[in-house]
């Protein structure tokens, strides 16, 4: 295997049609790391015995999981000053000595996450230390989701939407189908088609305090174009002032992509900021928005109930009215681009 300049890099993905598939390569990486990296092995074994409670909410499922291994990520101080002070744990010089990687398309490294939420949880980091910005992954996530299928689905946590490394561009991959939103019936979310173009369907739905945009289609190019236009619209009319906040999950199955985009308005719910026993440590990222709420403290796990789940989701989700504004802007922009491209010269 080719060995690159990063100290712990061991394998390189040969590309489409180049031999070993990406899932096979990643399964081999993970199996090897379970033998050579005690931290990963211990945390993976512990994962098998985590406690879980399933809540049925309006026909859908939300799972609450007690996972003490996630405490540092949940409590991570993502204030820019604090982030600037600490060494970046995704940069090669600070990564654990035992952590090996797969070079993906020249720019990305696939790693095993030593604090897994699900079995074989992967982190996909950019080789350069650059900001966690949605623009950096829009062209990467659909292709990665396709290549990692059918074993993994891929997700992105925005810098103020659950990412504990807002300073280093990265994606994550978890077992495909593990997150409830992937298997919820569309009726659970009351999904309504809002736009259709070149075989891609954009839909909008709500459930238990959350809002969700889905994009579904069999062709990567129009799918990516509509995703970019949705993100453009979120930048024009963000649900809260500043950079748009979001979580994005992509899966590929039976020749079709489904992208799940959760527009956000707040990084953490009100209960996170309470004092003493009133506090509940929950820091929603894609995993939580997609229906699996991680509680690293047992007391929080035991206290969780339906009303609290709805409140947490309401606190951090963009509300339906704000998402409607994004969709209005999306449509207006699309219609103006169509009319300019097709009609303006003739009319002029
Ligand atoms: Zn870094």
Summarize pLDDT for 24-50 with one digit per residue, the tens: 999 999 999 999 999 999 999 999 889
pLDDT recorded at residue 342: 54
Q: Say whether pLDDT at 8 is over 70.
A: no
Higher pLDDT, 345 or 212: 212
For residue 348, tell me if it sits in a domain.
Answer: no
- Tokens 């980091």 — which residue? 125
Residue 327 is inside which H or E element, if any?
helix 320-342
pLDDT, tens digit, 9 for 90 and up, residues 180-210:
999 999 899 999 999 999 999 999 999 999 9
pLDDT of residue 18: 79
Bridge partners for 202 per DSSP = 195, 215
- Tell how far the Cα of 125 is from the centroid of ligand 1, in angstroms: 9
Using an 8 Å Cβ cutoff, are 110 and 122 in contact?
Answer: yes
Give percent of the chain above pLDDT 90. Answer: 81
| Ligand 1 center–CA 165 separation, angstroms | 8
Distance 196 CA to ligand 1 centre (A): 39
Task: Classify residue 283: in a domain, yes or no.
Answer: yes
Q: 169 C-alpha to center of ligand 1: Å?
A: 8
Q: How many A from CA of 164 to the centre of ligand 1? A: 12
What is the pLDDT at residue 2? 39
Q: How confident is the model at residue 77 (pLDDT cuts 50, 70, 90)?
A: confident
Q: From ligand 1's centre to the CA of 131, what distance in Å?
A: 9
Q: Is residue 2 part of a domain?
A: no
**Residues 118, 317, 245, 69, Cα dihedral to 10°:** -30
Would you give the distance in Å from CA 291 to the centre of its chain?
12
> What is the distance in A from the centroid of ligand 1 to the CA of 286?
21
Is the residue at 1 inside a domain?
Answer: no
Tally of CA atoms within 13 A in the half-sphere of 286 that contains its CB = 25
Q: What is the pLDDT of residue 346?
A: 47
Question: What pLDDT, on a 0 to 100 scale, did the predictor assign at position 4?
Answer: 43
Burial call 36-72: b when 16+ CB within 10 Å, e when fewer? ebeebeebbeebeeeeeeebebeebebbbbbbebbee
According to the model, what pLDDT value does residue 227 have?
Answer: 97
Q: How many whole angstroms from 295 Cα to the centroid of ligand 1?
A: 26
Percent of the chain scored above 70 by pLDDT? 95
Residue 1 has pLDDT above 60, yes or no: no
Judge whether 3 lies within some domain: no
- Output phi, psi for 257, to 5 deg: -95, 150
CA of 167 to the centre of ligand 1 (A): 6
* Mean pLDDT confidence for 134-147: 96
Other CB atoms closer than 10 Å to residue 139's CB: what's the count? 12
* In a domain? residue 232: yes
Domain count, the chain: 1
Q: Domain containing 276 — which CATH number?
A: 3.30.428.70
347 part of a folded domain: no
Give the pLDDT mean for 83-105.
Answer: 93
Mean pLDDT of the region 250-254: 98
How close is the Cα of 136 to the center of ligand 1, in Å? 14
223-232 pLDDT tens trace: 999 999 999 9
Omega of the bond leading into 194 within 30 degrees of 0 (cis) = no
Alpha carbons 94 and 92: distance in angstroms, whole number: 5
Does any domain span residue 4?
no
CA distance 55 to 303: 13
Question: By residue range, what is the domain housing residue 100?
Answer: 9-342
- Residue 14's pLDDT is 87
Model pLDDT, residue 5: 46
pLDDT digits (tens, 9 = 90+) for 276-310: 999 999 999 999 999 999 999 999 999 999 999 99
Question: Could you tell me the distance, in angstroms and rounded to a whole number, from the CA of residue 124 to the centre of ligand 1?
Answer: 12
Question: For residues 21 and 24, what is the distance between their CA atoms, to the nearest angstrom?
Answer: 5
Instruction: Express the helix, strand and coil content of the chain in percent, nearest 5 each.
Output: 35, 25, 35
């Amino acid at each position: 295997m080719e060995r690159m300049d990063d100290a712990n890099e061991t394998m390189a993905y040969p590309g489409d049609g180049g031999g070993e598939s990406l899932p096979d390569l990643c399964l081999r990486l993970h199996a090897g790391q379970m033998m050579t990296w005690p931290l990963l092995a211990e945390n993976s074994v512990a994962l098998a015995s985590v406690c879980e409670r399933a809540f049925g909410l309006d026909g859908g499922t939300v799972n609450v999981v007690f996972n003490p291994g996630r405490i540092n990520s949940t409590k991570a101080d993502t204030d820019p000053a604090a982030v600037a002070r600490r060494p970046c744990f995704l940069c090669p010089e600070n990564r654990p000595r035992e952590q090996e990687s797969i070079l993906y398309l020249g720019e990305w490294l696939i790693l095993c996450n030593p604090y897994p939420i699900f079995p074989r949880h992967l982190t996909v980091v950019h080789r350069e230390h650059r900001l966690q910005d949605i623009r950096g992954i829009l062209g990467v996530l659909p292709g990665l989701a396709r290549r990692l299928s059918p074993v993994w689905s891929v997700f992105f946590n925005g810098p103020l939407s659950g990412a504990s490394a807002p300073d280093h561009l990265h994606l994550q991959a978890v077992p495909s189908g593990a997150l409830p939103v992937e298997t919820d019936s569309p009726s659970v979310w009351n999904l309504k088609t809002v736009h259709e173009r070149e075989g891609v369907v954009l839909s909008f739905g709500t459930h238990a305090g959350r809002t969700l945009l889905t994009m579904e289609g069999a062709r990567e190019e129009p799918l990516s174009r509509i995703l970019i236009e949705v993100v453009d619209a979120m930048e024009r009319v963000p649900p809260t002032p500043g950079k748009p906040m979001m979580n994005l999950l992509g899966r590929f199955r039976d020749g079709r992509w489904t992208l799940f985009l959760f527009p956000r308005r707040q990084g953490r719910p009100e209960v996170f900021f309470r004092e003493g026993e009133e506090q509940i440590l929950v820091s929603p990222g894609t995993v939580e928005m997609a229906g699996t709420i991680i509680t690293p403290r047992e007391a929080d796990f035991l206290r969780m109930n339906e009303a609290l789940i709805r409140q947490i989701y309401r606190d951090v989700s963009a509300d339906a009215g704000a998402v409607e504004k994004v969709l209005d802007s999306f449509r207006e922009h699309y219609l103006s681009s169509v009319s300019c491209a097709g009609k303006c010269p003739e009319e002029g």
